[in-house]
Structure 1
Amino acid sequence: MKPWIAVLLAACIPFAAVANEGGESKEGPPKVVYYSLNPPLVGNYGMDGGPRLHVYKADIALKVTGPEALAAVKHHEPLIRNQMVQLFNQQSLEALSSGESKEALRQEALKQTQQVLNDEEGKPVVEDLLFNNLIVQ
């Protein structure tokens, strides 16, 4: 290869890289992220005055789309955690004993999380709430 061709090609490579970084690149749809509340929530529930202490451990993930939504969830995580702790503390033993009641709790947790974020951010931000693990004793 002739030396002047190599120099010409080397000079063109940076311009090709800049052209690809321009507005022509398509990022595609926003990315879905499942953000886990760490550490898992642990606490007492069903404080009915009985002799036995009831304990829960909830590993919760929040489904969000896009970096702005993820940043909002991270920023308001202490408020979200507080809301979840209050919700779990209000539960009775019967409310956490069946699959249907756990699904109802999941739906209520999603609703309250969306309400908190709607109050703070002006939109619900969280699309879904999942119990990765829910242990009750």
Structure 2
Amino acid sequence: MKSLLLTFAVLLFSLNQPALAQTASANPQYSYFTLTPDITTNYITQGKKLGYLRLQVDLMVADPDYLPLVEHHAPLIRDAVIQIIGEQPESKIKSLAGREAIRQLCLDRVNDLLIAETNQKLLTELLFTKYLYQ
């Protein structure tokens, strides 16, 4: 009787092994890539003064295998972020809601560019980890 129970337990354990492996591989292993150096650019202001923005951009990918592709396309990503920032008005740069809208716009545009280059969506998230304006 004990040997029958032991055999049944081993059989159940071996049947559940593939399910455990699939569950582990279905969970993404997020990795981050930081654009270096920080981006420093100017934006549209009211009047004659010049507005500056310094930001650090971290890119989150769901698979660590994507990091070399993201690193290879870092100049393209940097250019897209600088172009978007340069088009924004001062009121949007300085508000929290505007900052979030800019971040989302950057994520969407960068993902579109990366899809055109690599035929796959690489970024899960684009984060502004430093955001200083003057």
| TM-score bracket for this pair, using the shorter chain length | 0.7 to 0.9
- Identity value in percent: 30
- Could you say what secondary structure the match of 2:123 adopts? coil
Alpha-carbon RMSD: 1.5
Instruction: Identify the residue that residue 31 of structure 1 maps to in structure 2.
Output: 29
**For this pair of structures, how many residues does the alignment match?**
110
Higher helix share: 2
Task: Tell me how far 1:123 sits from its aligned partner.
Answer: 1.3
What secondary structure does 1:134 align onto?
Answer: strand
Q: Secondary structure of 1:127's match? A: strand
Matched, 1:41 2:33: no
The one-letter amino acid of 1:90's match is E
TM (norm. structure 2) is 0.76
Amino acid at match of 1:107: Q
* Structure number, greater radius of gyration: 1
Q: Runs of at least 4 residues of structure 1 off by over 3 A? A: none
The offset of 1:31, in angstroms, is 2.5
| CA deviation vs aligned residue, 1:88-128 (integer Å, no higher than 9, x gap) | 11111011121111001110010011011001001121000
Give the alignment partner of residue 88 of structure 2, picking from 75, 87, 91. 91
- SS of the equivalent of 2:60 reads strand
Q: TM-score, normalised by structure 1?
A: 0.75
